[in-house]
Amino acid sequence: MLTKLQEDHDWPSAKKLFALALRHDDDDTLYDLGTQLYQLGFNPQAKRIFEKLLRAHPTEDELRTYLADIAVSAGDNDAALNYLDAIQPASDDYVAGLMTSADVYQAMGIPEVSEQKLKEAKRQAPDEPIVDFALAELYFSLGRFQEALPYYQNVRAAGEEEVAKVVIGQRIGATLAGMGEYEEAISEYQKLPREAMDADTTYQLGVLYVETKQYQQAVDTLTALQQSDPDYAGLYPYLAKAQAALNQLADALSTVQIGLGFDEFNTNLYHQGFDYATRLDDEDHALEFAQEALAQDPDDQDMILSLSNLYVKNGDDQTNIDLITTAAQNHELDPQMYWNIARSYERQDRMTDARENFLLAYPHFRENADFMHDLVLFFQSIAARKELLAALKQYLKLVPDDMAMQAAYDELLAEP
């Protein structure tokens, strides 16, 4: 039957031989056939064999674990649990049944029961690395890194460097990173053999270098990833950030542009591009980044504020007013926007509007010397003596050595 199936690819003949095997082969031969069919993915045929064998050998619990796996693959979790619940603690397959049960409950979205099953398996087999690995993977998947770490360490201490195609060193590094132990995570990744440094692991190492401000190492690592796998879109924001930190702004801007070619909806890249272009005095590109970002998300308040700051700097007052006025229709404004629009109104001699927005900004910026300086000059320009006195008093608390402002304050106090 297997020859017809694997070598000749003659499924009709294989089906006939399968029927003959079910009727005539001895149980040991059928068991071998069932396990091979199971490994090849022919689950319905393997299921028929295991069901027949279980009827003949009801104490052979390994058959129940196979049938449970097949039921899970078919999406029949209830049937899987029925098979597994029939395995008693005295059985040699009790631990295997518990672990399969844990998989079923996790797939059902009930991780707390999965944890109970694995803890029972750990009590039954305290020195079994595969149980430690299963517990570690469960906690890792739940983001409970502190609990996952000792189990991964147990697996490695038992001499297992890889389980179920999972490299234990990779998992330990990722677990340490999840715990915020970045330097230790880097150390783990650096110990990995070259063949274990797949794209995901290389990316994670690059990100860790950025998080620990080891920017040149980050650039080297992420550039290598870019060269080997340019489609790995997640690398571009971090590579650009590292380049910018090294004052390689032109390279950072280029990286952003390349990254947007692979992920045009990445908000972070638009913000980074705006920042780097602005710092390079490339305002045309900065405006392009802002406009493209706002075309995708008109409510992007961070980008609206960044664009407003640029308009204020360049004196594009009406454009700034239009931008913030539109934003105010849909959202409560960031306090900085009140300050920005007040400055634009002031430059347009719309003093009533300017005053209103300066006062809206005041509670948020009364400890900000730059804002208070602007407010003092504004009240001077409109000859608002009472407000000017209060503004000067607050400003001088922040900048007591500003002699010009102190003189203005003293002069104002001396007036009748």
pLDDT (tens digit, 9 = 90+) per residue, 158-174?
999 999 999 999 999 99
Q: Using one digit for the tens of pLDDT, what is the confidence trace for 17-64?
A: 999 999 999 999 999 999 999 999 999 999 999 999 999 999 999 999
CA atoms within 13 Å, Cβ hemisphere of 340: 28
Categorize the per-residue pLDDT at 8 as very low, low, confident or very high, splitting at 50, 70 and 90: confident
C-alpha to C-alpha distance for 31 and 46, rounded to whole angstroms: 9
Share of the chain above pLDDT 70, in %: 100
Task: Collect all residues with Cβ–Cβ distance below 8 Å to 75 and sequence separation of at least 6.
Answer: none
DSSP string, 201-229: HHHHHHHHHHHTT-HHHHHHHHHHHHHH-
pLDDT of residue 237: 98
Q: Is the pLDDT of residue 337 over 90?
A: yes
At residue 415, the pLDDT reads 81
Over the stretch 186-201, which tens digit does the pLDDT of each residue have?
999 999 999 999 999 9
Percent of the residues in the chain that have a pLDDT greater than 90, as a whole number: 92
CA-to-CA separations, 393 to 364, 381, 409, in angstroms, rounded: 17, 17, 7
Asked if 329 and 352 touch (Cβ cutoff 8 Å), the reply is no
Q: Which tens digits make up the pLDDT trace of 86-142?
A: 999 999 999 999 999 999 999 889 999 999 999 999 999 999 999 999 999 999 999
The token duo for 115 is 């944890």
Q: Quick check: helix, strand or coil at residue 56?
A: helix
What are the pLDDT digits (tens) for 339-395? 999 999 999 999 999 999 999 999 999 999 999 999 999 999 999 999 999 999 999
Give the pLDDT score at 414: 85
The span from the CA of 183 to the CA of 402, in Å, is 46
Mean pLDDT of 203-222: 98
**Whether pLDDT at 75 is above 90:** no
Query: Average model confidence (pLDDT) for the chain?
Result: 95
Alpha-carbon distance 177 to 359, whole Å? 45
pLDDT value at residue 22: 93
* Cβ–Cβ < 8 Å for 236, 255: yes
Q: What is the pLDDT of residue 346?
A: 97
Look up the pTM and report it.
0.79
The Cβ of residue 6 has, within 10 Å, a number of other Cβ atoms equal to 11
**Residue 416 CB: number of other CB atoms within 10 A?**
2
